[in-house]
Structure 1
Amino acid sequence: MKPNNQTTTSKLIPIILRYFTISVFLFLPLLLLLFSLQTTPSSTTTTTTTPGIRIRPGYASYESYIQKQLNKTLNPKLRHIWTTRDWDRKIRVFSTFFSHLKNSSFLTNSSKALCIGARVGQEVEALIRVGVRDSIGIDLVSCPPLVIHGDFHHQPFPDNTFDFEFTNVFDHALYPEKFVGEIERTLKPGGVCVLHVAISTRSDKYSANDLMGVDPLVKLFRGSQLIRVKKVDGFGLDTELIFRKRKLG
């Protein structure tokens, strides 16, 4: 006797529906998680774990943050100013500044130095002119031979590479903890980091964070000791901080 196809089908349908229902319940939490990740901007783009540092809103993704920074770095009018009218003036100011650091033994001719966020490389050229020839800069756009391509949230260098690092772009860091973590990672034990930051004044529209005081930076530099704080007039930045990475042991 041949089986009735209609009867067989009617028996299979409840079984299929039962397995389908079970699979939906099993995978529903995963589907909801994936949906939320796709539709909700990452909270890390608008918050920071360090009190006293406010991350500016408006970045839906890391890519949108990078694009905004590139809008400034690649601006043809700005790049023309940086390489012409501002070139000699900034080199003179930075040369004086680095010479004072040499006199205070924070920097020597044999130092291996890095300038973070160097754009067209005035800081690097100034270091070379005062005798620190093993110097290089990183920025989102390379400017050979002084500046190579690099993201300061993920420096393209091995651990313990530099004796000296300088930056005046802390306010451009979307992730201040990563920014400082990369500095401490690439500094040699005993190495020095010098930062120029804006505390009393508001930085420009391309800034990603606002720093409310010195203490938040001190908390970020967990592996370093604060050596000096003083007021400066650094192209719109008002405070200089010098940290020395603690030696092993």
Structure 2
Amino acid sequence: MKPILFKPLFISLIFSFSLLAFLTLQTSRRRLKPPAAAVSAGGDADLRIRSGYSSYDAYLHHQLNKTLNPKLRTIWKTRDWDRKVRVFSLFFTSLKERNLLSNNSKSLCIGARVGQEVAALKRVGVSDSIGIDLVPYPPLVIQGDFHSQPFDDENFEFEFSNVFDHALYPEKFVSEIERTLKPGGICVLHVSVSKRTDKYSANDLFSLEPLIKLFEKSEMIEERRIDGFGLDREVVFRKMVHSKNGRL
């Protein structure tokens, strides 16, 4: 009986490792060197990169260990689904009431996993919405690395993310948002300030100042405290039509 019982588990493990290898190959074609251990991003002590990554592949493997975890994915798609869609719907409704989001906003959710954020946008009437994550979840989420978004320049009016802390290269994370966001477009980030996040985070943020500095083509227009699944700040940026030096 044992071989019969273990066969499904064995097949599942083979499939998971095969998918892991395939995704790593696809997302790491353009090699990035890992930052030096414990070196702050941009020389700012209030944004610290966590140590322990020997290569970009090692970082991707670490992130995929969470994203591909079958128990977590089952929870995200079942027990957590309604709760998270409901809470995100409230966040997005608030943005609409503040004229920061509209039904006509072409929208992107960055690090969307199984797409609760995308489902919430569609629920509140923002139908042209998509998510990206290392692992796709059709039709709500396509495969993509937030350090190198798979989209053309100036493609979206609205971008949202609550995974800034997972960025190994925060400057690339932000520059890709600004590249794909249209002038006048809105970016909303949910972040944790001065509180260590989970073991899959790649950086720690101790004030909003280094985050604001990273947005070279945008201005921060709002900031407020929230209770967002362990994250405590909502920060809103608008991409400028003209940059701070007069050019965009």
TM-score range, shorter chain: 0.7 to 0.9
**CA RMSD, 1 decimal:** 1.3
- Superposition misfits of 4+ residues, deviation over 4 angstroms: none
After superposition, what is the alpha-carbon deviation per residue over 1:130-168, rounded to whole angstroms, capped at 9, x for unaligned?
Answer: 000000000000000000000000000000000000000
User: 2:177 maps to what in 1?
Assistant: 183
Partner of 1:117: 111
Is contact 2:67–2:113 with CA below 8 Å preserved after alignment? yes
Counterpart-to-counterpart distance in 1, 2:34 and 2:162: 26
Matching residue's letter, 2:92: F
Cα shift at 1:201: 1.8
Separation in 2, partners of 1:197, 1:50: 20
Distance 1:43 1:227 in 2: 32
Q: CA 1:154–1:43 in structure 2 vs 1: closer, same or farther (change >3 Å)?
A: closer
Report the counterpart of residue 149 of structure 1 in structure 2. 143
Q: What is the CA distance between 1:202 and its match in structure 2?
A: 1.2
1:61-76 maps to which residues of 2 (within 5 A)?
A: 61-76=55-70
Q: Which amino acid aligns with 1:44?
A: P
Structure 2 unmatched runs, 5+: 1-31
Q: What amino acid does structure 2 have at the position aligned with 1:214? A: L
Tell me, yes or no, if the aligned pair for 2:154 and 2:181 is still in contact at 8 Å. Answer: yes
State the aligned residue count. Answer: 209
* Change in 2 beyond 3 A, CA 1:168/1:43: closer
Question: 1-side partners of 2:215 and 2:42: how far apart?
Answer: 14
User: Identity over aligned residues, as a percent?
Assistant: 66
1-structure distance, mates of 2:239, 2:209? 17
Does the 8 Å contact 1:50/1:216 carry over to 2?
no
Which structure: larger Rg? 1
Aligned AA (1:227): I
Q: 1:209 aligns with which of 173, 179, 203?
A: 203
TM-score between both structures, scaled by the size of structure 1: 0.82
Aligned to 2:35: 44
2:34 and 2:56 in contact (8 A); partners too:
no
More helix by share: 1
- With normalisation by structure 2, the TM-score equals 0.82
Deviations 1:182-201 (A, max 9, x none): 00000000000000001032
| Equivalence for 2:74 | 80
Give the alignment partner of residue 96 of structure 1, picking from 83, 90, 99. Answer: 90
Distance 2:199 2:153 in 1: 33
